[in-house]
Structure 1
Amino acid sequence: MNPERAAGTPEPEHQGPKPVPYTYHDGREDYLHVGRQGGAEADQPAALVPPSERMSPPVQTTALPPEASALPPATAVPAEAAPPPARASALPPEATALPPEAPRAAAQRPQQGARMSEIVTRGLRTGAALTAATMCTMMAASTLKRGSPWASMNAMATAVGLGGRRASDRFDPVVTPAGIAVLAGGLLAWGIGYEKALDATGKRSGPLTGALSALGGLLFDELILPDRLMKNFRDKMGVLGTLSKYVALGVASAAAPR
């Protein structure tokens, strides 16, 4: 039917579909025929509605019971299956860190070693001088007293239990060298200790240090070594000869080279 003719010609009510302008979604224009015809209920037939404009039927939702929609509780992990906690370090950070004085102490070790080596060297020189002075004095004293220079060396061997309680005046191939070795070893160690004491106190060798060295030697022989040693000294060298031994020790200590 021509729309213009339809507009100019009166038509009875409910005669047929009425053309209505309609614009599609893509911009095209057309007429749709809407209205009732013959008691039909559809005002807008489904065949005339574009597919994109049609309404989709309502979606029916099915209600779930509360127990079905609830989330399951979290599964607890047994204690034995749980990973062990990380162990803390046994030492605190301040125990593993080096103190600020460590580099300084490490740098001082070579200096201390060189210093100790120098003290030992000086002590051996001083000990050699003490040995020479004391041995000569003892041998001279025993020669004057007993007529034999070896008597004093045999008396010295009694400090380590050789030669019996009463030392012999004659040379003995075992006792006499042992007495010389005991005297030399003891005075070498004495020289090292003497130089160490001087270094610790900042003193230099002199009459006072020599007198202290002689007094220390006398007290060492009287209080530390066996009683038979001093008895054999007095027997083989006499009282004056025994005292001259410690005088020689003091003089050699005072004159020790630095």
Structure 2
Amino acid sequence: MDGLSVILTALAAGGVVGLAMGTLGGGGGVLAVPALVYLLGMTPSMAATASLLIVTATSLTALTRHARGGDVCWRTGLQFACAGIPVSAGAAVLSTHLPAWSLTAAFALLAVAAAVKMIAGAPAEAEVSAPRQARAARAVGAGAGLGAVTGLLGVGGGFLAVPALVSAVSLRMRVAIGTSLLVIAVNSVVALTTRLVTGPSGPQWSVIAPFAAAAVLAAWDGRRLSMALSPVILRRAFGVVLVLLAVAMIADLALTAIR
């Protein structure tokens, strides 16, 4: 692939990732990693680092947009994020010592889990808030799990954060989406910093720059799109895409093993 083709592919893929982040409050990393591996030729480990750069920039952009609309619960989001910080850093270090096939397999399983959540629909918004201690405990547990996913696989994990914020912490859906972006941003910064310090090589800026630029621009308009289109259709379409990605990744692993 020549230089122009790389830039055009990165721009197109970045636009899709940004729309997912801005519209659904997450899902960008689940699309970014396969795009970087299968369309742009990166190894799974390199793609995870690049994805964290892209997801960090995109989530901060989308967070700004949601915060302006008052759709961010800062206290709850920081509880989630703080619980995930040490786990995210540890998982980022661990990922550099794992074989590529194991990361691909784990990512395929993650894509399936995300697809199931997307296709099944959004969790019902709680009518009665849980006690404060119970909500804090749920925030810590969910935040730690989210940090592990972010550090290990280079994804933000918004598809996990949003349901947790709605069902476990009793946030309204729109606020949960905005708050998930805060959690994603913090975890991504921690995991990215750890990878850059401990990783064997630096990012491929010639690929990451156009990818991130397109993602940021698309994420800025993602919230407007989420208000114009049916959220059910958006989630289900995204879920179908994730199923296809997971099947393709599993098939690639099987073919590699046969060879």
- Of structures 1 and 2, the one scoring higher in RCO (CA 8 A, sep 6+) is 2
TM-score (norm 2): 0.30
Q: TM-score, normalised to structure 1's length?
A: 0.30
Q: Which has the higher helix share?
A: 2
Q: Which has the larger radius of gyration?
A: 1
